[in-house]
Structure 1
Amino acid sequence: MTPFPLLIAMLAASIAPCSQKVEGHPHYVIPGALRDVTYHGQLALDAYVPAGEPRPAAIIIHGSQGNKSTHVTQLFEVLDRAGFAWFSIDYRSGDDVAEAIRYVRCPGRFNITPETVLIGEDTGAGIALSLAARGGVRGVVTFGAMLSDVVPSPRKENAGLNGTTAEVLMFHGTSDEESPPAAAEALCNRLPHCTFYPVTGAIHNLENWHPDQWDWKEDLTAWLRGDRRGLWKDIAYNRPAGRELLMDAYIPENIGPLPVVIIIHGGGWEAGNKVTYVSPVFGPLAEAGFAWFSIDYRLTPYVHIPEQLDDVRAAIRYVRAHAARFHIDPHRIALLGESASGQLVAQVASEPCTGCEVQAVVSFYGVYDFTKGTQSSDWQKAAVRRLFGDSSQETLRRYSPLFVARPEQPPVLLIQGTKDELYSGSMEYARKLKEVGAPFKLIVLEGAPHGMENWEGHTEWEFYKHRLVEWLRATLKANNSSE
């Protein structure tokens, strides 16, 4: 029988390697990350493991060039957005990588879950695939896989633990001359659970891919998240002229396909972002079972209103194109805007749009007539020129919802406070919708000023949230493609 003190000593020895303090240096790329954490002998890794709920882990294996801090740095922020901790490692062989994985997964050392994904770039891809064949990992992601004889035969007999084979996602440039994509695609086709993602026009190295080739970031994030619901931050829905336009999404736990509200913030066409001005509707929509997407768009004076409308349409197309990813019904989409964006959503509703059709529009205290701007002060005339680049009556009428309303447009909900200087314009627009026979409903908040943020804390105006949800449910139910 083992003496009790000796038993305690043995247990302490078995626990000590995992409970020892992790030491490193501040990272130069990601705040809160550590660099040069020694994991075996003289070998080190960089680690990002934020506090809070434990995260799944991604092991990053660089290729034949550079080290743990080069060539793969674009992955760091993407993995954080996907809710993963990450570990980028230096190594000499596949055995070193296996040792790094054991170090990372040692219980209690890092704030991570057992779920592990291996990400390999260039020759690191082959190492990732070889290690995955041993089992114990959820999946493998490769970039520009440089394959060699060390990659195991990708047949089902190489399945990992419990008779399963890891899922594989392979990103590969179609113009990769160092590792032609045909070989990687052929390997992927033979793997039991592999998706091959050709990146059009991209060359070998991930870090050299152009902004118009960066859709891989959203596809990788979605693959990593799986069916996880809740808040999804900073989804790039478009990249005009190389600039990322982001949206936040909230996907409820409800069984889909879910109805959708795409939210566009106001701010005079020149201010705000996806969390500004419109936050009061986030909670009511989520709690009512709507998926919502709140978007950034380009602002004046850097662009004009026509380009802003292009951004709104791009957001609609993106959400529709990824309906399965977001568990939404592409035939039950509402647009919601307020103030300046009230004009944007009303304008989109008034114009037929292939691929960006919506079934409902909500406009809070919008601007519906620009033609009066040239009849006002010099300041207002200058403002109109800022919005359009010119102030011709033809242009102003073209982008004034008051003059382009049509009976076939989607149903519109107007919400307006009586103490808002835009009150009379909303009433005029309501009369126009009635005149042309366009479906609409008007909700008036007696005594309410401009801005839903300013309605918070006033119980006499809170009813608009219930009425908004009620109207959306009724209007989008009529377009329920699943019924």
Structure 2
Amino acid sequence: MSFPRENTAFGTAPLEPAIGGFLVQAAGQPPLESLPLDVARQSYRELAGALGLQPPQALVRDLAIAGPGGALPLRCYTPMGSTGPLPVLVFLHGGGWVIGDLETHDAVCRTLCQEAGLLVVAVDYRRAPEHCFPAAPDDAEAALRWVAAHAAELGGDPARLALAGDSAGAQLAAVAAQRVAPGIPLRGLGLIYPAAQHYSEGSPSYAENGEGKFLTSSVMRWFMDAYLGKDAALYQHPEVALLRSQRLNTLPPTWIATAGHDPLRDEGLALARALAAAGVPLTQVHEASAIHACIHFTALSPAGGRLLAGLASWLRETV
């Protein structure tokens, strides 16, 4: 995949000062991929909980549905004081298909729920390496279809359904949206710094940001090797490498965000170009001073807060 020189509006700016300090401190910690799996997962939970602003209150309930691999947990968030059927957002968490879960993204879902005024259904899809591709997209599709059929029972409006995710979750959201099209008409798709190709493709932003910017190139290799089982035949699969999909034109209106200091920056920008070329109505946001995962670090990263507020505003207007 070739990456043309980007407009300066989609480049980098100096790192946010507090994030720069955080990265200096983090440099002394063991690499995430060197930790035992359960420790890496707990570390991500603790980091997401410690560096974010206090999230809004919401009414929260957990349930489980029948999924392709057994019981599939969901967590439903309803805005405080809401009445009547609400628009519905299915949310797919990031974490490299490996370390994220409902807890790592609880604050994100509470924020979107309250600020956008919608019912959020978060999906606890199966993770690698215990469950490799295509377990995660199979679960994402199953959850989306279930919510579309049962939205009214949850207090939602089945005619006002959207889908969103961050990082690996954004990749899964784009895959699930293509799988259900055109049978389930989605009002919108929110993609926060999506993964859009296999790491072996490379990009200038991998070279610029692959070390010392929280998400490293070595962590991405660990994530994807766990997710794909090192199966080279999957590297260019269109449900892994979104940039190779021939069905992007089936996607609903899409909001996509990228970060200047993110290894995934260039593939996210390339995906935005591909969506526009496919005729998808597109809203594009770029935070030049931000790192990957900034939506978790809102106590340190104003850019992370802006991304969540921007997505919430777009969902409120679109869905």
The TM-score, its normalising length taken from structure 1, stands at 0.46
Partner of 1:250: 77
Match of 2:281 among 425, 430, 439: 439
**Distance of 1:305 and 1:314 partners within structure 2:** 15
Match of 1:454 among 292, 297, 302: 297
**Distance of 2:234 and 2:155 partners within structure 1:** 43
- Which one has the bigger helix percentage? 2
CA apart distance, 1:379: 8.9
Task: Pick closer, same or farther for the CA change 1:347–1:330 going to 2, 3 Å.
Answer: same
Task: Pick closer, same or farther for the CA change 1:366–1:333 going to 2, 3 Å.
Answer: same
**Distance of 2:117 and 2:228 partners within structure 1:** 38
Any residues of structure 2 matched to 1:225-264 within 5 Å, and which? 231-242=59-70, 244-252=71-79, 253-264=81-92
**Distance of 1:406 and 1:428 partners within structure 2:** 13
- CA RMSD, aligned part only? 3.0
CA apart distance, 1:331: 1.9
Any residues of structure 2 matched to 1:119-130 within 5 Å, and which? none
Any residues of structure 2 matched to 1:276-287 within 5 Å, and which? 276-277=104-105, 279-287=107-115
Task: Pick closer, same or farther for the CA change 1:407–1:301 going to 2, 3 Å.
Answer: same
Partner of 1:330: 158
Once the two structures are superposed, residues 337-378 of structure 1 have per-residue CA deviations (whole angstroms, 9 ceiling, x without a partner) of 111111101122233447655321111111101273599999
Task: Pick closer, same or farther for the CA change 1:436–1:251 going to 2, 3 Å.
Answer: same
Once the two structures are superposed, residues 91-145 of structure 1 have per-residue CA deviations (whole angstroms, 9 ceiling, x without a partner) of xxxxxxxxxxxxxxxxxxxxxxxxxxxxxxxxxxxxxxxxxxxxxxxxxxxxxxx
Task: Pick closer, same or farther for the CA change 1:306–1:395 going to 2, 3 Å.
Answer: farther
Partner of 2:255: 413
**Corresponding pairs, count:** 247
Partner of 2:269: 427
Tell me the amino acid that sits aligned with residue 154 of structure 2. Answer: F
Tell me the amino acid that sits aligned with residue 127 of structure 2. Answer: L
Is 1:465 aligned to 2:308, yes or no? Answer: yes
Any residues of structure 2 matched to 1:265-414 within 5 Å, and which? 265-277=93-105, 279-353=107-181, 356-370=184-198, 372=200, 384-389=224-229, 390-392=231-233, 396-404=237-245, 405-414=247-256
Task: Pick closer, same or farther for the CA change 1:406–1:339 going to 2, 3 Å.
Answer: closer
Q: Is the 8 A contact 2:189 2:255 kept in 1?
A: yes
Secondary structure of 2:317's aligned partner = helix
Once the two structures are superposed, residues 302-345 of structure 1 have per-residue CA deviations (whole angstroms, 9 ceiling, x without a partner) of 22232211111121122222222212111211111111111101
**Distance of 1:460 and 1:299 partners within structure 2:** 28
Secondary structure of 1:448's aligned partner = strand
CA apart distance, 1:428: 1.0
**Distance of 1:232 and 1:381 partners within structure 2:** 35
Q: Is the 8 A contact 1:407 1:439 kept in 2?
A: no
Task: Pick closer, same or farther for the CA change 1:292–1:397 going to 2, 3 Å.
Answer: closer
Tell me the amino acid that sits aligned with residue 269 of structure 2. Answer: M
CA apart distance, 1:430: 1.0
**Distance of 1:396 and 1:385 partners within structure 2:** 14
Q: Is the 8 A contact 1:350 1:401 kept in 2?
A: no
Gap runs ≥5 in structure 1: 1-229, 477-483
**Distance of 2:69 and 2:309 partners within structure 1:** 40
Tell me the amino acid that sits aligned with residue 458 of structure 1. Answer: S
Task: Pick closer, same or farther for the CA change 1:298–1:468 going to 2, 3 Å.
Answer: same
Task: Pick closer, same or farther for the CA change 1:305–1:328 going to 2, 3 Å.
Answer: same
Gap runs ≥5 in structure 2: 1-57, 207-216
Secondary structure of 2:76's aligned partner = strand
Secondary structure of 1:407's aligned partner = helix
Q: Is the 8 A contact 1:263 1:292 kept in 2?
A: yes
Q: Is the 8 A contact 1:373 1:380 kept in 2?
A: no
**Distance of 2:239 and 2:72 partners within structure 1:** 26
**Distance of 2:316 and 2:167 partners within structure 1:** 23
Q: Is the 8 A contact 1:373 1:384 kept in 2?
A: no
**Distance of 1:354 and 1:387 partners within structure 2:** 28
Q: Is the 8 A contact 1:415 1:442 kept in 2?
A: yes
**Distance of 2:195 and 2:69 partners within structure 1:** 28
Partner of 2:42: none
**Distance of 1:297 and 1:403 partners within structure 2:** 24
Q: Is the 8 A contact 2:296 2:304 kept in 1?
A: no
Q: Is the 8 A contact 1:448 1:455 kept in 2?
A: no
Any residues of structure 2 matched to 1:65-80 within 5 Å, and which? none
Secondary structure of 1:232's aligned partner = strand
Tell me the amino acid that sits aligned with residue 249 of structure 2. Answer: P
Secondary structure of 1:345's aligned partner = helix
Specify the structure having the higher radius of gyration (Cα): 1
Secondary structure of 1:469's aligned partner = helix
